[in-house]
Amino acid sequence: MLGRKVPSVTFRTRVRDESIGGPNPFRWQEVSSDDYFAGKRVVLFSLPGAFTPTCSTYQLPDFEKLHAEFQAEGIDEIYCISVNDAFVMNAWGKSQDLENVKLIPDGSGEFTRKMGMLVAKDNLGFGKRSWRYGAVVNNGVVEQWFEEEGYSDNCDSDPYGVSSPQNILESLKGIRKAA
Ligand code: BEZ
């Protein structure tokens, strides 16, 4: 994965647009991989699903809290991607009071499949979802890779450690000190 360019896909997001009026002032907005990744050094992390316990209790809120520390290590954005549609991702972001981490809806799983990270989670009734991983992506190219062990379909467990914000931050700090 190191040195590979992230896949070029179009994400279908929902954005607020007050000009629409009414009780649900949102419209579709297509956002490309280039829009998210070109000219920026970002942390991308991917998880099995919005609203799932580990992701909602630890991984996403901890990335949110540590945002300033990531910025201090030269990270422009933190993106959380999941194989969920834009409605679900927006509702999850709202429930988490997110201000810093940006959510990317990969509803069709195209990005995740092209990253080689799509797994079956039919054992949980989830269908196809993402294996947990994190990455530092510099101008669209994977600079560091943090994949949880045991990539597999219908995995009984849900390993979470190397893709934690604490681990990725430590790695970034180590690189800076070594430089
Ligand atoms: C969790 O984040 O705890 C979780 C993820 C996928 C399935 C079940 C739980």
Cα distance between residue 97 and residue 107, in whole Å: 21
Q: Is 6 a domain residue?
A: no
Q: Tokens for 161, please give them.
A: 């450690």
Q: Is 69 a domain residue?
A: yes
Q: Report pLDDT digits (tens) over 143-172.
A: 999 999 999 999 999 999 999 999 999 999
Cα distance between residue 61 and residue 93, in whole Å: 10
Q: Is the pLDDT of residue 137 over 90?
A: yes
Q: Is 32 a domain residue?
A: no
Give me the number of domains the chain comprises: 1
Q: Is 7 a domain residue?
A: no
Phi and psi of 83, rounded to 5°?
Answer: -80, 75
Which ligand 1 atom minimizes the distance to the CA of 56? 2
Distance (Å) of CA 31 to CA 49, 96, 121, 145:
20, 22, 27, 24
Q: Is 157 a domain residue?
A: yes
Q: Report pLDDT digits (tens) over 40-66.
A: 999 999 999 999 988 889 899 999 999
> Which residues carry out catalysis?
55
Mean pLDDT of 120-127: 97
- Nearest CA to 114 out of 103, 106, 122, 124 is that of 106
Domain interval for residue 69: 41-178
CATH value at residue 127: 3.40.30.10
Model pLDDT, residue 61:
96
> Across the strands, what pairs with 47?
82
> Across the strands, what pairs with 144?
136
Ligand 1 neighbours by CB, cut-off 6 Å: 48-49, 52-55, 124, 158
Q: Is 170 a domain residue?
A: yes
Q: Is the pLDDT of residue 70 over 90?
A: yes
Model pLDDT, residue 123:
97
Pocket test for ligand 1, best of 45, 55, 88, 133 (most atoms within 8 A of CB): 55
Q: Is 78 a domain residue?
A: yes
Q: Is 12 a domain residue?
A: no
Pocket test for ligand 1, best of 46, 80, 158, 160 (most atoms within 8 A of CB): 158
Model pLDDT, residue 101:
98
